[in-house]
Structure 1
Amino acid sequence: MMVTGRSPGPAPSMGPFVGSPQASPKPGPPTQSAPPFSAPLAAPFGTQTWAPGQVAPPTAAPNAAVQPPRMFGMPPPQPNQPLPAIDQTGASLEDARKINSNQIPRPTTSYSKIQYDTRQGNQANIPPPASCDYIVKDTGNCSPRYMRCTIHQVPCTADLLTNCGMELALMVQPLAPLHPSEEPIPVVDFGEGGPIRCSRCKGYINPFMRFTDHGRQFICNFCGCVGSTPHEYQCNLGPDGRRRDADERPELCRGTVEFVATKDYMMRDPMPAVYFFLIDVSMNAIQTGATAAACAAISQVIADLPEGPRTMLGIATFDSTVHFYNLKRVLHQPLMLIVPDVHDVYIPLETDVVVQLSECRKHIEQLLESIPTMFQDNSTAESAFVAAIKAAFLAIKSSGGKLLVFQSVLPSVGMIALSARDAEGRGNISAGEKEPHKPLQPADKALKTMAIEFAECQVCVDVFTTTQTYVDIASISVIPGTTGGQVYYYYPFSSISDPVKLYNDLRWNITRPQGFEAVMRVRCSQGIDVKEYHGNFCKRIPTDVDLPGIDSDKAIVVTLKHDDKLQDGSECAFQCALLYTTVYGQRRIRVSTLSLPCTRNITNLFRATDLDAQFVCSLKQVANEIPFTPLLQIREQVTNICINKLLAYRKFCTTATTSGQFILPEALKLLPLYTLALTKSTGLQTDVKIDDRSFWINYVSHISTPSAVCLVLPQMIAVHNLDFDKQEENGSAIPPVLPLSSEFVSEEGIYLLENGVNGLIYIGSLVDSNIVRQLFGFSTVEETPTQFALQQYDNPLSKKLNDVVNEIRHQRCSYLRWTLCRKGDASGALFFSYLIEDATPKDGPSYSEFLAHLHRSIQAKMS
């Protein structure tokens, strides 16, 4: 039968992006990115048994209690027959042909919003998939937007966790944006004494701390220590043992609260909001229009910076030297101060390089308007990128702040100069390479040392790479990756389509919810401990991560381990505490607490597993391994992890089934598709440029759970016959998604495919030229350029397409850069490379073949 699951709908339109270059951008509240695919929200097992060619019976009711597992009837492997290699295109073709491609598990589309209470009846609720549209009511546990566990029941022992083959980890996104319909996070001020904490483990007060002795004492839910309640905070207990004022105090009834930090949490006064813009003015940047695009974007976004005297701003430019500007002394033209020594840089002025935005706004706007003209005849091709970053750091070292760098060419002169490590920027990577991939590792360890120095001084670096050549992102990304920043990648930079994306990316960067000089720690109940953190941060002590910059898009994976046995039926608590400074100079502590039941039953673990969280955990671990491990080995590891999970379910949870059935737990029914998509992703494809792969690694390292699925498993929709009336009925501008298979692509149609970073629009070779003219303004398919800026023309079809694109941009918190693709050229090949259900000679089997391979592998292990 056709396997379906409760599906996510598109997220509400909350993003800050404009639909076309001509539109006038307006500020908007933050957006919650929401990819279109999800694991089911229904009961953990579905009453659906499937065999090749059979007619699908009616789907079971979603609220059915305990239901049989999902089964796929396939013949068992023949004795002594070798298993197919996972990279072999024709793997298990005999079995694969018996699979009806219309009935295999795929994500489905739904537009209904899910109302989710974090706890009910004093028990934790399993959250909806990260990728669906849901509204959270915080009833004790924190929202899954802030913290989500890979398994929503905690195994009591390490052996039980090993047997199920799954990872125990937390996906932490401490500043994740709220849904517009959700209540804001309460801010609690305990006065000079600060929030109540455990005297032993320093855990913060939360709904799961128990009060005793008429409220005079409390028991920490993390370490069990008994503490004394401050006299002014005491309250009598009710018959149920809860404080009578618990529902009136957010810290006692809400999973996420924000405490006002006292002076004890400050080593200095809260830092001001400092923004320093560093612009590449080398010959390549000028000629491609990258410099003009950067200056125009900065000039527009400074209107969105926080107002008031605490907002500081500085600007510098660089080519083979570094140029500072006195922003207070501007007469007919800005006063430029050149730093020629790019091996031992310095700042030429102690003051007036970084100034109050409110005092010098006109001078800043004048300078930004002048820079492209000042350097229009620049013939210097070299770039002192690293020296320029170090010089800008010296300018804001005393205060800290955000350093936003616009860079276009390979850093080739000055301190830590880099060189192209191969002619084509490909690094000669092959799928079976045995040696570590040196081009994917930083070229100089001094970059890491510099990045740690930046982090210690609370300087966060974001790099906007507007390039048409290899720039060694593997090396450049070390600095953003250590300071809590990120890399934006525009390759090849187009002066036609990319300036508007650059503007929107920069604007969202500075307007999204964010904080400065942050420190984060995760605490766990006794029996569980933190094993490792993964993300963009600096780690100087084992227990904390330092985040010079933290924003609503950044997520951190916290892997966990057992250090003792847990009691069956008890609860295990996790708490994330983020100490940070807001852009308005307030020192806050955001505390999110999650309490989950413990179990000794392996079936409960499969019932409570979170596919999206499991997948993101694997995705980030894969990204960490790519620079040091052959691609073929990683692919095999990813596939084996999938096999081991399904094998564990087959061995321990479905002993009564026949040997010829392929069984998938309901919560993991899309695991094979996710796994196949990961093996074919940009990070693991063989024929990928080094910079493309390096950017993918950096992006994955900080990606949020909702965005990760879409990155690896894009969404594809047909736009040639948009049914606007039906879309309005569904409450979304986005039509249902199509499977990522060429079976669903007709040469008479037009298809949109996006992964949260890039958008592709494929125009079939037999499309009606009238449709092409209505949508893109060109008479024939052959006239359409690859890079273009989407326009809205005066016809209903064009309006519908723009509505779809704008809705996607809002969901993704990304403007997306769009590429028109045609059959027979490189753009068409790029489009079809994202259709992961198809078999490809280089990157692996089809979806049906992969399912057959998994089935045969599990049968072999069982026998």
Structure 2
Amino acid sequence: MVGIATFDSTIHFYNLTKSLQQPPMLVVPDVQDVYAPLQAGLVVSLSECREHLEQLLGNIPSMFQDNRTADSAFGAAVKGAFLALKPTGGKLLVFQSVLPSVGIGALSGREAEGKANAAAGEKEAQKLLQPVDKTLKTMAIDFAEYQVCVDVFLTSQTFVDIASITVVPRTTGGQMYYYYPFSAQMDSAKLYNDLRWNVTRPQGLEAVMRVRCSQGLQVQDYYGNFCRRIPTDVDLPAIDCDKTIMVTFKHDDKFQDGSLCCFQCALLYTTMSGERRIRINTLAISCTSILSNLFRGADLDAQFTYFLKHAAQATPAAPLQQIREQIVNQCVNILYTYRKFCATASSAGQLILPEALKLLPLYTLALTKSIGLRNDGRVDERSYWLTRALSLSTSLAIPLVYPRLFAIHDVLSQDLGEEILPPVLPLSSENLDQAGVFLLEAGEDAFLYTGKSVAPELLHQLFGVHSLNEIYPGQFLLQEYDNDASKKLNDLINKIRRQRCSYLRLHLLRRGEPLENLFLSFLVEDKTSLGLSYVEFLVHVHRQIQNKMS
């Protein structure tokens, strides 16, 4: 079943009933006390209304092409669509491009207010990462109760207050998509692919999840996009293959050496074909009193994902300096425990790292320099980063803060297999060759960086130009040209896209553009205004461990 509504400062529903010649528009002007104008006909069976639906989708662009209404009744539109979906539940895909300015949950341009109050310092900036009030949250809890999930696609050029809007997808098990600054030419392929994957990926509806564990343990907290009305259950109006829910446990009793400790996750859900199913995952792990076994079996991705999600959840409410210190202290405590209780006798001047967690200091440093934990980023970008981090899978957690850097000029001379990616370079400016072309991939965005001395011939093969000045800012589209270099670059990007289930948003960096600073901020192994270099950070961690040992 499917329905369509459009909105500006009013809401426009469409009656898709089969017996009508064409879908009439029904306007709801009251955006404070919104209602669904019909009990039936707003959401109808796709097989019955396909002709009407295609006709309406074809007409909408011309119907609104002369519309000059700048106001947006986002909250009222979402509430109205929810009222139409209330009898059945389902998914709501909302497309928004400006700040919601009228009706229920209207917002103001508080980013500008925050800048005006800059004298109040970090406390004022912190407020901008929190929802402005509880209006949208209260609505979202209602949506979750009636099994309506909301996904929001933001195609904006300006501040839209993601911190306030995001409570709707977060509470209803939905997802936020953010395209900034939106360019119809550059972003249409990503928007199309994100939308297509959203409706075709493996997913379930009306889900409820419960996690149980052995005696001696108890569930401590959940992280992710869901609604939790009672302590034992997590409500998920929708669940899909891209979302992760992290569960932490508290250890409150002794276990016998060699005994089994069990964890079970039960998920009751409805398939897209309407079947009610239950999926149960049970994990049994043996207990050990030998600490070195714990470090030997440590999972770096899981450990780091905990750091990331814990920081993302805490950031809107705590000072950034405090959160960065907590992350570093957690890393130091883990390595100190290993040094004290597991490492063989060695010189005090040596930094000893467990094999399974040897990259933990690197990823910890990268997290402290990431977009969400910096003072200098745009508020919406930071809010989106925090939202994304909370529902991200473990495979995408590390690329979010420590992207992959590939030397494209080296890839061109290599013959890689079907799905094999080239070697990854450390994120340091030392690896940037001025005669080379580099691709930096962060899971959702990718940056093509060209050195000052790249041969015009290579630029022509890859991008169809002899100088980057021939490409107008914000108008770059990667194309495949009839030469080996272009085909290999396109193949590499397509391999990454298949890995990520996300259509990478590609940016070509031109010298002196703001994006160049963003690219350089990802080179986390360098010393910058954001923090220490990797070598200096290792020295700092080692010193902290030595202080604890003495």
Shorter-normalised TM-score: what interval?
over 0.9
1:665 aligns with 2:354: yes
Q: Residue 763 of structure 1 is aligned with which of 445, 450, 453?
A: 450
For the 8 Å contact 1:435–1:629, the answer to whether it is kept is no
Q: Deviation of residue 830 (structure 1)?
A: 1.7
Identify which of 170, 180, 185 aligns with 1:496: 185
The alignment status of 1:519 with 2:208, answered yes or no, reads yes
TM-score, with structure 1 as normaliser: 0.62
The answer for the alignment partner of 2:548 in structure 1 is 861
- Separation in 2, partners of 1:431, 1:791: 48
What's 1:752 paired with?
A: 439
Q: How does 1:439-454 map to 2 (within 5 A)?
A: 439-454=128-143
Is structure 2 residue 52 aligned with structure 1 residue 363? yes
Match of 1:838 among 510, 513, 526: 526
1:532 equivalenced with 2:221 (yes/no)? yes
**Equivalent position of 2:402 in the other structure:** 713
Note closer, same or farther for the CA distance 1:424–1:828 as it changes in structure 2 (3 Å cut). farther
Structure 1 counterpart of 2:548, one-letter code: K
Q: Which residue identity lines up with residue 250 of structure 2 in the other structure?
A: K
Matched residues in 1 for 2:230 and 2:78: separation? Answer: 26
Is the 8 Å Cα contact of residues 426 and 689 (structure 1) preserved in structure 2? no
Equivalent position amino acid for 1:757 in 2: E
Which of 320, 325, 341 in structure 2 is aligned with 1:652? 341
Residue aligned with 2:405, SS: strand
2:327 to 613, 618, 638: 638
**Which consecutive unaligned segments of at least 5 residues does structure 1 have?**
1-311
Q: Are 1:810 and 2:490 an aligned pair?
A: no
Q: 1:584 aligns with which of 235, 251, 273?
A: 273
Query: Could you tell me which residue of structure 2 aligns to residue 274 of structure 1?
Result: none
- Shift of residue 447, structure 1, vs aligned partner: 1.4
- 8 Å CA contact 1:753–1:760 kept in 2: the answer is yes
Aligned residue number for residue 172 of structure 1: none
Query: What amino acid does structure 2 have at the position aligned with 1:774?
Result: Q
Counterpart selection for 1:800 from 488, 498, 502: 488
Q: Distance in 2 between matches of 1:485 and 1:410?
A: 20
The aligned counterpart of 1:507 is 196
CA contact (8 A) 1:329 1:335 kept: no
Counterpart for residue 243 of structure 1: none
Please state whether the residue corresponding to 1:683 is helix, strand or coil.
Answer: helix
CA distance in 1, matches of 2:119, 2:448: 29
Q: Deviations over 1:796-834 (max 9, x none)?
A: 111111101111111011001111112333222221111
- For the 8 Å contact 2:73–2:101, the answer to whether it is kept is yes
1:779 maps onto 2:460 in alignment: no
Q: Distance in 1 between matches of 2:86 and 2:253?
A: 44
**Deviation of residue 732 (structure 1)?**
3.1
> In the alignment, which residue of structure 2 is the partner of 1:693?
382
Residue of structure 1 in register with 2:172 after alignment: 483
For the 8 Å contact 1:769–1:781, the answer to whether it is kept is: no
- Could you list the per-position Cα deviations for residues 92-142 of structure 1 after superposition, in whole angstroms to 9, with x for gaps in the alignment? xxxxxxxxxxxxxxxxxxxxxxxxxxxxxxxxxxxxxxxxxxxxxxxxxxx
Aligned to 2:513: 825
Whole-angstrom distance in 2 between the partners of 1:795 and 1:332:
53
Counterpart selection for 1:629 from 309, 318, 322: 318
SS in 1 for 2:139: helix
Deviation per CA, 1:748-774: give whole Å up to 9, x if none: 111111111111111212111111111
Report the more deviating stretch, 322-331 or 820-829.
Answer: 322-331
In structure 1, what is the Cα distance between the partners aligned to 2:510 and 2:120?
A: 28
Larger mean CA deviation between 409-418 and 776-785 belongs to 776-785
Structure 1 segment 180-195 matched on structure 2, within 5 A? none
In 1, the alpha carbon distance for the partners of 2:44 and 2:119 equals: 51
Offset of 1:781 from its aligned partner? 2.1
Cα distance in 1 between the residues matched to 2:134 and 2:73:
18
CA drift of 1:621 comes to 0.6
Structure showing greater Rg: 1
Q: Which one-letter code corresponds to 2:540 in the other structure?
A: H
CA contact (8 A) 2:114 2:125 kept: no
Q: Report whether the alignment pairs 1:560 with 2:249.
A: yes
1:465 has 2:154 as partner: yes
Counterpart for residue 291 of structure 1: none
CA distance in 1, matches of 2:290, 2:493: 46
CA distance in 1 between counterparts of 2:456 and 2:36 reads 59
Pick the aligned partner of 1:346 from 35, 44, 52: 35
Given candidates 356, 373, 387, the residue that maps to 1:684 is: 373
Query: Quick one: distance in 1 between partners of 2:544 and 2:165?
Result: 41
Kindly, what percent of the aligned residue pairs are identical? 63
Distance 1:821 1:342 in 2: 43
Matched, 1:376 2:45: no
State how far apart, in whole Å, the 2-side matches of 1:427 and 1:448 are: 27
Matched with 1:129 is: none
Give TM-score, length-normalised by structure 2. Answer: 0.97
- The amino acid across from 1:488 in the alignment is Y
Alpha-carbon contact 1:742-1:835 (below 8 Å) kept: yes
Corresponding letter in the other structure for 1:709 = I
Q: Measure the CA separation in 2 of the matches of 1:459 and 1:679.
A: 36
Q: Which residue of 1 aligns with 2:112?
A: 423
Distance 2:5 2:161 in 1: 22
Asked if the contact 2:111–2:159 (Cα under 8 Å) also holds between the matched residues in 1, the reply is: no
The secondary structure found in structure 1 opposite 2:460 is: helix
Matched residue of 1:772: which SS? helix
- Give the aligned partner of residue 428 of structure 2: 741
1:435, 1:630 within 8 Å by CA — same for their partners in 2? no
State the one-letter code of the partner of 2:70: A
Offset at 1:722?
2.2
Gaps of 5+ in 2: none
Query: Could you tell me how far 1:795 is from its partner in structure 2?
Result: 1.1
Equivalent residue runs for 1:16-31 within 5 Å: none
Give the CA RMSD over aligned residues: 1.8
Structure scoring higher RCO (CA < 8 A, sep ≥ 6) equals 1
Does the aligned pair in 1 maintain the 2:18–2:49 contact within 8 Å? Answer: no
1:573 and 1:501 mapped to 2: Cα distance? 42
Deviation string, structure 1 residues 214-261 (Cα, Å, up to 9, x no partner)? xxxxxxxxxxxxxxxxxxxxxxxxxxxxxxxxxxxxxxxxxxxxxxxx
Q: CA deviation at 1:724?
A: 6.0
1:732 pairs, out of 403, 407, 419, with 419
SS at match of 1:708: helix
The 3 A distance-change label for structure 1 pair 847 and 330 is farther
- Tell me: CA distance 1:579–1:862, structure 2 relative to 1, closer, same or farther (3 Å): same
Describe the shift of the 1:738–1:786 C-alpha distance in structure 2 as closer, same or farther (beyond 3 A). Answer: farther
Distance 1:424 1:344 in 2: 29
SS of the aligned residue for 1:497 comes to helix
TM superposition shift of 1:456: 0.3
Q: Secondary structure at the match of 1:747?
A: coil
Alignment of 1:551 onto 2:240: yes
Per the TM alignment, residue 785 of structure 1 is displaced from its structure 2 partner at its CA by: 3.7
> What is the aligned residue count?
549
What's 1:191 paired with? none
Cα separation, 1, equivalents of 2:433 and 2:143: 52
SS where residue 663 of structure 1 aligns?
Answer: coil
Could you tell me whether the CA contact under 8 Å between 2:117 and 2:124 is conserved in 1?
no
Matches within 5 A, 1:388-403: 388-403=77-92
CA distance in 2, matches of 1:738, 1:432: 37
